Amino acid sequence: MKKVVSYLSATFTVIGGVVGAGFITGKEISTFFPFPNISVTYITLILFFLFFYISLTFGAKSKTANVVSAASSCCSVIISASMISALENVFQILCQTENVKILLIISLVIAIIVSSNGVDSIGKFNLAFMPLALGITIYFALSKTSLNFAEPIKYGKIEMPVLYVGMNTFTSFKVLADIGDGKSPKFNAVTAIFSSFALAVLIFFISLAISTCKLQSSVMPLISMLDENSVSRLVMLIICLLGIFSTLICSLYSSFSLFGDKRKTLKNLLLSSAILWISRFGFSNLVEKIYPIIGVLGTIAVVSVVLAGRALKSRRKHTLSRQEYKVLRCLP
């Protein structure tokens, strides 16, 4: 039973690093996957699996891990700011007021406390919340979906899945590396398979619902498709809050790893202030203009981890061969 919980905790933590504001509200999906397509979904599934498995298995071992982790932590600051901006939007809808700064600060403080307790604490939160969030999100997406494939399906840009997967892997790199550190290849493969499958299915049905309702230009498509003042809209807003919070704690965990233990509290306070300031640029602007750039960086980062891992493996093999040769020479 403990082993099953370990698998589930790791899987939902990986998913929680992706299912943030942009995903759970549909904004990222409408930007990177504007039209539903089975082939693109398969590509996304395969890419998620490969990128997740590589990061889980080699993230803490590769020679480039420290550089990639540091770059990922810097980009996670942008992701954290995006989550704060999205929280502000959702709080404003829920509270029907523009002034929600106190709620934002409280949310940020709680997220800092959870993230400072490490990956295990993040895993417990995601294990408790994420299954419910995924189920409700799929239910609402399906309720607004027209499964009429008689109409020709439009194709989005084929490079967008690569950028999307690269972005999410890159910004979650520190969390992925820490989850996979010391784990067996089987554990990492199972975690990568289940998390990739869940994300690919979600992306397809959310994209289908957004396309059906023609809400690609909406700031929060999944919220916009639900009737105002309805119970379903209220439930989805609460799920969005928790989903945003999930990615916020993952991105803060990565962001705060930039600093050592010396004067860490002061540095984290300054970084939190910077995150609040960056969030003023707006959720939609950050998703549409900054996320694709992070996607390019993420793809390059994962490729570098693979190349460094192969180089290390080749070097070890060469070293082992030389040692074997020396042993043979010593034999009579």
In terms of pLDDT, which residue wins out, 65 or 234? 234
- pLDDT above 70 (res 104): yes
Higher pLDDT, 321 or 74: 74
The CA distance from 81 to 262, in Å, is 24
CB 204 within 8 A of CB 41: yes
DSSP class of residue 261 equals: S
Kindly state the helix (H) or strand (E) to which residue 172 belongs, with its residue range.
none
User: What CATH class has 2-330?
Assistant: mainly alpha
pLDDT at 151 exceeding the cut of 60: no
Burial 32-50 (b: 16+ CB within 10 A, else e): bbbebbeebbebbbebbbb
Retrieve residue 236's tokens: 């989805």
Average pLDDT over every residue of 141-149: 67
- Whether 183 has a pLDDT exceeding 80, the answer reads yes
Rounded (5°) CA angle 321-323-327: 115
Q: Which of 25-29, 234-238, 245-249 comes out lowest in average pLDDT? A: 25-29
Residue 263, pLDDT score: 62
Alpha-carbon gap, residue 76 to 163, rounded angstroms: 16
Query: Is 278 in contact with 81 (CB distance < 8 Å)?
Result: yes
Q: pTM, whole model, 2 decimals?
A: 0.75
* CB of 243 closer than 8 Å to CB of 133: yes
Contact 200, 15 (CB under 8 A): no
pLDDT at residue 64 in the model: 66
What percentage of the chain exceeds 70 in pLDDT? 80
Length of the chain: 332
- Return the domain boundaries, the chain: 2-330
Q: pLDDT per residue over 209-227, tens digit each?
A: 888 777 767 777 878 877 7
Among the ranges 65-69, 193-197, 248-252, 285-289, which has the highest mean pLDDT value?
193-197
What's the confidence (pLDDT) of residue 247?
82
DSSP letter string, 108-167: HHHHHHHHHT-HHHHHHHHHHHHHHHHHHHHHHHHHT----TTSPPP---THHHHHHHHH
| Residue 327: pLDDT band with limits 50, 70, 90 | very low
pLDDT at residue 140 greater than cutoff 90: no
Please determine, for residue 193, whether its predicted confidence score (pLDDT) is greater than 90. Answer: yes
Higher pLDDT pick, 286 / 234: 234
User: Given this model, what pLDDT does residue 152 score?
Assistant: 42
pLDDT band at residue 194, thresholds of 50, 70 and 90? very high
For the chain, give the mean pLDDT: 77
State the Cα–Cα distance between residues 125 and 133, nearest whole angstrom: 12
Average pLDDT over residues 105-109: 87
Summarised one tens digit per residue, pLDDT across range 7-56 is: 888 888 888 877 766 787 787 888 788 777 788 888 889 999 988 888 88
| Per-residue pLDDT, 62 | 63
Range scoring the smallest mean pLDDT among 98-102, 184-188, 196-200, 214-218: 214-218
Q: Does residue 150 carry a pLDDT above 80?
A: no
pLDDT: is 182 or 215 the higher one? 182
Greatest Cα-to-Cα distance within the chain, rounded to the nearest angstrom: 88
